[in-house]
Chains A and B, each alone.
Chain A
Amino acid sequence: MRRVVITGLGLVSPLGSGYETGWKRLTSGENAAKRIDNFDVSDLSCQVACQVPRATAADGSFNPNDWMEHKEQRKVDDFIIYAMGAATQALQDAGWKPTSYEDQTRTGVLIGSGIGGLQGIEKTSLLFNDKGPRRVSPFFIPGRLINLASGYVSIEHGLKGPNHSVVTACSTGAHAIGDASRLVAFGDADVMLAGGTESPVCRLSLAGFAACRALSTNFNDAPQKASRPYDRDRDGFVMGEGAGVVVVEELEHAKARGAKIYAEIIGYGLSGDAFHITAPAEDGDGAFRCMTAAVKRAGIDAADIDYINPTGLSTPMGDEIELGAVERLFGNAAGKVSMSSTKSATGHLLGAAGAVEAIFSVLAIRDNIAPPTLNLDNPSVATAIDLVPHKARRRTIDTVLSNSFGFGGTNASLVMRRYAA
């Protein structure tokens, strides 16, 4: 099987635009949660979110005009604009700009989303109700479809290889990178842009996730305390938005063009809970089998893993179930691994989360830094695992595991390792 490496990173997150900005803010302990003030939340039980900062591009905030023509922005939901930003950043970072027909046909796109254009569906539905079918825009459908993130990116950059998408709730971004690595390993493409994108912060989705009892509701007056994975006072996740896209490339292709190599993707595991539509299986068996599959594929021992970026939503049940599964996987080696939920700083980017966290995991390898779990004042259970409370930790990190477990009992795990010839 062909070896697959990561050669470019692109990130649009609540911590800012660009992976260096996001990583710097993450490792210095910044927290993106704020009270929502751009639409009415007075009647919603959750009034907090992590939103992408928008202003000028200078201070690390996201300027849509840098990534997509203004007239095109009008036609699409934000998840497509975020994907365009992250994808273009990733290509630039990788120094890959296919112009020949051959290079274009060997480069594909696999960007997923958990929900797609919910903002536009909400808005158009209200317009439809108010003014009737003749006011529904011809861009309503193409501007909301999940695979149109991949579509727009391919059109913008002339990428004519596999054009694909993933929809697996909170596991989307990890599945996208894992599936893309398989496409490259199998030879369907030499380069894939892979990741996830999401723009769910609107009244309809806040109401919907709140109805599932998934969101934090106790911290509307103290937003920065709302996302608190593993802490005893956690009461649900904080919604985030943004996109993470990586360049997944066949090793020899990367070497031949002198590309910088961030990490090798050595393991990818998938599983299903077959248990409940929103709750994770209580025995954590789905999570355990998913991680085990990824570790086995990687051909390593769990004890070789230095850092884990978990699902770690900050939900009452999920955090401990995942922690239990990790303890089961590591056994006596649990005391050697660091595991931090970066959702404590970024909120939960749903379909983008797995990709954003894969990027953080890769940067953890680059810099030998485990980012912190913020707000972890009182862990709800005792564990030998280092949960990196409050402050980032310098430590040797050569091998990482990134977990994403989602609604529907869909699980994905990625194992990445510092590249060595």
Chain B
Amino acid sequence: MSDISERVKKIVVEHLGVEADKVSDNASFIDDLGADSLDTVELVMAFEEEFGCEIPDDAAETILTVGDAIKFLEKNSA
């Protein structure tokens, strides 16, 4: 597991209060991990903070699963 993947999953566990083993790459924030639309906004902010990057709104809208976030951050984080 990449370092980025681990850090992403740690943030998801903390913010959504879910068990670590539920946070698979395929898990959807809303459908599988109990997030609502405000939770997803805050998750994106937490990723920005952790990885020192900016995630534009149109990109944020495409980040629906844990794997989406990892892929985006592997490409775009500093």
Contacts and interface: CB of A to CB of B under 8 A. Distances in A.
Interface of A: 69-71, 74, 134-135, 137-139, 142
A137 B17 contact: no
A137 B16 contact: no
B73 interface: no
Most A Cβ at <10 Å: residue of B15, B17, B54: B17
Contacts of B17: 69-71
Nearest to B46: A137
Contacts, number: 19
B16 A138 contact: no
A134 B42 contact: no
B41 interface: yes
B1 interface: no
8 contacts: A71-B15, A74-B15, A134-B45, A135-B45, A138-B38, A138-B41, A139-B38, A139-B42
Contacts of B41: 138
Contacts of B48: 134
* Secondary structure class of chain B's binding surface, majority of residues: helix
A355 B15 CA distance: 34
B49 interface: yes
A145 to B, nearest CB: 14
Nearest to B17: A71
Interface of B: 15-17, 38, 41-42, 45, 48-49, 54
Contacts of A134: 45, 48, 54
Contacts of A69: 17
A137 B45 contact: yes
Given A134-B45, A138-B42, A139-B38, 16 more contacts: A69-B17, A70-B17, A71-B15, A71-B16, A71-B17, A74-B15, A134-B48, A134-B54, A135-B45, A135-B49, A137-B42, A137-B45, A138-B38, A138-B41, A139-B42, A142-B38
Nearest to A74: B15
Contacts of A135: 45, 49
B45 to A, nearest CB: 7
A142 B42 CA distance: 13
Nearest to A141: B38
B11 to A, nearest CB: 12
A312 B25 CA distance: 59
A134 B42 CA distance: 10
Closest CB pairs A-B (n = 7): A71-B17, A138-B38, A138-B41, A138-B42, A137-B42, A70-B17, A71-B16
Nearest to A137: B42
Contacts of B16: 71
A135 B41 CA distance: 11
Nearest to A70: B17
A9 B47 CA distance: 43
A74 B42 CA distance: 12
A24 B17 CA distance: 36
Contacts of B15: 71, 74
A71 B33 CA distance: 12
Contacts of A142: 38
Contacts of B45: 134-135, 137
A74 B54 CA distance: 23
Nearest to B43: A138
Nearest to A136: B45
A177 to B, nearest CB: 32
A220 B8 CA distance: 46
A137 B54 CA distance: 15
Nearest to A142: B38
Contacts of A74: 15
B38 to A, nearest CB: 4
Nearest to B35: A71
